[in-house]
Amino acid sequence: MLLGALSLSAPLPAAQDELAAVRDMLRQLVPGQEPDGLKATAVPGIYEASYGTVVVYLNKDGRYLFQGDLIDLKTETNLSERTRSEARLKVIASLAEEDMIVFSPRQAKYTVTVFTDIDCTVCQRMHADMAKINRQGVKVRYAAYPRAGLDSESYVKAVSVWCSKDRKKAITRAKAGEEVRAKPCDNPVKQHLQAVRELGIRGTPAFILEDGSLIPGYDSVERLVETLEERKRNG
């Protein structure tokens, strides 16, 4: 965790420009790593710093730092989650769609990027619903997340699927428990695993929506569509 590396031994130096002073303090707290974002919040004297999807808050004199959600109760808006969503979208934008396995209806109303593990039983159940999901206008873009890690059996399966001539057919067979012939090739699986780390994903399937929201797990087609419709209305 980011906070484990922080030390608050030095006070924040006096400065006319509070934002510059806070940035200087962060450079002491996290040497060699500039924040991806730094801005004043609506709370006087409190600044938000983001490192990927990790969001922390620091007061202007550098004495207090906390990690958690900042919520605007008047608008019922989670301001921290908004920042995390923006960071997730940057990570997703770095992944080429041609390196994903895409199941799409003719006209997509929604697009979701799903990090999937071939050996995950919930992922297998979700894939069995793929035709129904597509019929609801949902475009699914699979990225690989073999949870057992590099060189595991799940990792080898993911590579074999991504190296297949027909990836869609291969992942359908693999998720049904059929063997997919192992074959090496240049593949994006390691890049997808790096994205998993940057996104802070811990389980599969994990859905990244078009607004950057992270939705863990899968229940049913109906629940998925309900969530997508709700996000669209509130977007």
Residue range 48-72, pLDDT digits in tens: 999 999 999 998 887 888 999 999 9
In-domain check, residue 157: yes
In-domain check, residue 148: yes
Tens of pLDDT, residues 138-191: 999 999 999 999 989 999 999 999 999 999 999 999 999 998 887 789 999 999
Are both 46 and 160 inside the same structural domain? no
Q: Count of domains in the chain? A: 2
Are both 163 and 195 inside the same structural domain? yes
Neighbours of 14 (CB within 10 A): 7
Task: Give yes or no for residue 32 having a pLDDT over 90.
Answer: no
Enclosing domain of residue 30: 2-79
Q: Give the pLDDT of residue 12.
A: 42
* Cα angle for residues 21, 24, 29 (degrees, 5° grid): 125
Are both 110 and 174 inside the same structural domain? yes
Arithmetic mean of pLDDT over the chain: 90
Closest CA to 118 of 174, 164, 166: 174
Are both 109 and 225 inside the same structural domain? yes
Are both 198 and 163 inside the same structural domain? yes
